[in-house]
Homo-oligomer: A and B are copies of this chain.
Amino acid sequence: MSDEAANGWVVIAGLGPGAEGLITPDAQAAIDAATDIVGYIPYVRRIAPRPGLTLHESDNRVELDRAAHALDMAQAGRRVVVVSSGDPGVFAMASAVFEAVEAGPQAWRALEIRVLPGITAMLAASAAAGAPLGHDFCCINLSDNLKPWSLIESRLRLAAQADFAMAFYNPRSKSRPEGFVKTLDILRECCEPERVIIFARAVSTPDQAINVTTLADATPDMADMRTVVLVGSSLTRLIPRDGAPIVYTPRSVAKDAE
């Protein structure tokens, strides 16, 4: 291995949900030190061009090709940042890069590969609404592109039984309009109609919209691919005030409640 190759690396960095003020200094430093940025088109477009930096945009659903490209370049001595929205470890590029490493040439395992955490959408959404994830919660990707729908359904029912607050990523897309209809139906079977549900769209961007409603009043069209959905636990509360209410889940569960 040449000295140049020995200096190559891959960093998988999270850019947060959209606002510049939610990109960590560590992620920014990696971008500043990179020779190459790899990622899905809208995320790569968040990176400012500069001399010496090559931007490699790729389409959705080519995550493994993108990962292999990044690893190949690092092997050749490039300093590569794979960018994700939010946190790269939450339904994003970190797992895809490691799938490629496991399936790829042995030499890739000797590369310097680091993951830099970011502000994931559910935590930015929770902050915007108050603190609905302030107690035990779970996080489910509602897309059945990569897993059977029966597993999603089983997880929804068990999460409701556990009385977790829930965060849903990828609730609804044009190619999967029915999944979120079924999700709401399952939740209505398992939870009371007054259960709080929050549709948080484009959090931390100029398009941010936070819609606080109940399971009884929720409709599938309230979600799209830019929306993260938060469902409260049975203890989640609203504090009414002028403007949007504050939504929070208390830290305590009464010890005689169980």
Residues on A facing B (Cβ under 8 Å):
16, 19-26, 29, 63, 87-92, 94-96, 98-99, 101-102, 109-110, 113-120, 123-124, 126-128, 130-141, 146-148, 150-151, 154-155, 158-159, 161-164, 237, 239-242, 246, 248-258
Query: Which 10 A-B pairs rank lowest in CB-CB distance, beginning with the nearest?
Result: A95-B134, A21-B26, A94-B131, A138-B138, A147-B253, A115-B127, A98-B248, A109-B241, A158-B162, A146-B252
Please give, as numbers and ranges, the residues of chain B lying within 8 Å of A253 by CB-CB distance: 146-148, 151
Q: Is the CB of B90 within 8 A of A123?
A: yes
Please give, as numbers and ranges, the residues of chain B lying within 8 Å of A89 by CB-CB distance: 123, 126-127, 131-134
Q: Is the CB of A95 within 8 A of B141?
A: no
Which residue, A21, A131, A139, A242, has most C-beta atoms of chain B within 10 A? A131
A125 CB to closest chain B CB (Å) equals 9
Complex alpha-carbon distance, A161 and B208, angstroms:
36
Q: Is the interface of A mostly helix, strand, loop or mixed?
A: mixed
A6 CB to closest chain B CB (Å) equals 14
Please give, as numbers and ranges, the residues of chain B lying within 8 Å of A90 by CB-CB distance: 123, 133-134
Please give, as numbers and ranges, the residues of chain B lying within 8 Å of A258 by CB-CB distance: 148, 150-151, 154
Please give, as numbers and ranges, the residues of chain B lying within 8 Å of A29 by CB-CB distance: 21
One of B135, B161, B246 near A113 (C-beta < 8 A): B246
Please give, as numbers and ranges, the residues of chain B lying within 8 Å of A256 by CB-CB distance: 148
Q: Is the CB of A123 within 8 A of B87?
A: yes
Please give, as numbers and ranges, the residues of chain B lying within 8 Å of A134 by CB-CB distance: 89-92, 94-95, 98
